[in-house]
Structure 1
């Protein structure tokens, strides 16, 4: 259940409460000298059957970016599709309304449109409704003329799950798992960006006090199906995510600020480092009537499988 120590601050959680060697020195020396010339094999660090096969089908896609390029190709006809799943009201027991999420959605939509995204927001969808929308976006849309895909989810959550209006789901299955390179070929080797504003647990971060001390081509290549993803959570696993009921969540406030100030100037990972710093240093909970919740901190968590830098370029839509 969502805890609320002050009407101005809320939290996004859903339920509240050695091997030894017997080889001789001579053998070791000979192996060491000749081993570099022998053909080697790669092995997986997995426990279990070595005959397990991935379920992904064989696919051949056309890479929109040169194999050795530092930056993704962001010069397609359109910037990209942006989908926002905004959850404010719930049918799940003990999940309170997320006051302030409308502000998050409004500012995020505006910031993304300013970057050139075609934005589609959804409000308070059930699991079944989300499933139908995600089927459409992952199976029916052709992204050939788009730079990238961006998806944001604003909701309650616990570690490993996010809530739709009527129940929880695993984001790796329901969200980004649908857009891997083998399933959505027109997005292969393009950035797929996911931003999750939700709690990942009920732990609190009281922080520590710091004092500043100043010292003065045309070839083909194969990619993993999970390459080119970026998943940014508002907080680290196990911890609360804070939201102001009037100004919106700390993470979305900082993210929209970064997009608006530096969207065409800095690459995405640099912007997200700025977001981390803003949330970590400039935000602190203000719940003076609850000593447990008062003066708490938060740090976003970014997982990157990107293989190049994402730099949004201004487009000339004539």
Structure 2
């Protein structure tokens, strides 16, 4: 019986002993709201890191189209869009650090888009590689207090390995169109706590270990699917429904066409979504002023 009592706090949610004083109680459930608050003065910052040229790796032709398309749609969703081209590892990591130190109190959320070369667990800046978790490390709850309880979204267009998805052949009456051929705190008051990693969303262009396709003229499959879905449905559908649509577009509308290389021909791709969101999020319409800044 004593053990049973120890396992319950006054909300039946934690492991605090009922004998603990009220000043020591930290509640794990600050709100029962189902939706993220989008009534702040500003939508938030959208960082776009586009990499075309590298010191020792091939250029990523097509990334300029991806950069411009995703910048435009995020601008239309009222973000303060900041574009960075071909940053070095030091410059990129310092930019993330500086933005995390800004005051996001009046912002709804944060978006970070990275388009580069990659491998399992790492991404490439112009001159060197860095760990993929460096992207969000400075924005977690224990590092960026003004973003606590707000969605932080990271979209990563990069390879995560060298495997190819050969796809599975099937027929369906719903498949009317063929895929498009494309290449490439404690205090005296009651306080609330949430997990450090809460409210984080990561969407990779492909599954771990797999190749990510990009067309040198039309852009990458993932970023093009993302910008189209946001443009068509960004103001009416919730975030997870939107991103399911991105996966659907990528999976069904695209297929590689490399007839001179049988190993790469007719390949498929499926994005990978990792969500630690705790509420439903909508890009609701706002009329605040918007800013686009390009930094070379």
TM-score in terms of structure 2 length: 0.82
Q: Which residue of 2 aligns with 1:18?
A: none
Equivalents in 1 of 2:197, 2:278: separation in Å?
A: 11
Structure 2 contact 44–107 (Cα < 8 Å) conserved: yes
Residues 94-126 of structure 1: per-residue CA shift (max 9 Å, x gap): x21000000000000000000000100000000
Give 1:305 shift: 0.5
List alignment gaps of at least 5 residues for structure 1.
1-33, 42-64
Aligned-pair RMSD on alpha carbons?
2.0
Q: Which residue of 2 aligns with 1:291?
A: 262
List alignment gaps of at least 5 residues for structure 2.
9-28, 175-189, 290-296
Q: Which residue of 2 aligns with 1:71?
A: 35
Structure 2 contact 30–193 (Cα < 8 Å) conserved: no
Bigger Rg, structure 1 or 2: 1
Equivalents in 1 of 2:6, 2:146: separation in Å?
A: 37
Q: Which residue of 1 aligns with 2:227?
A: 256
Q: Which residue of 2 aligns with 1:167?
A: 128
**Aligned partner of 1:120 among 66, 78, 82:** 82
**Aligned partner of 2:46 among 79, 82, 85:** 82
> How many residue pairs were aligned?
255
1:317 equivalenced with 2:277 (yes/no): no
Q: What SS does structure 1 have at the residue aligned with 2:255? A: coil
Residues 208-233 of structure 1: per-residue CA shift (max 9 Å, x gap): 0112279xxxx742101111000000
Q: Cα distance 1:181–1:35, how it changes in 2: closer, same or farther (>3 A)?
A: same
Give 1:200 shift: 0.1
Residues 170-211 of structure 1: per-residue CA shift (max 9 Å, x gap): 021x21011111110000010000000000000000000112
Equivalents in 1 of 2:4, 2:207: separation in Å?
A: 45
Structure 1 contact 67–221 (Cα < 8 Å) conserved: no
TM-score in terms of structure 1 length: 0.77
Structure 2 contact 78–288 (Cα < 8 Å) conserved: no
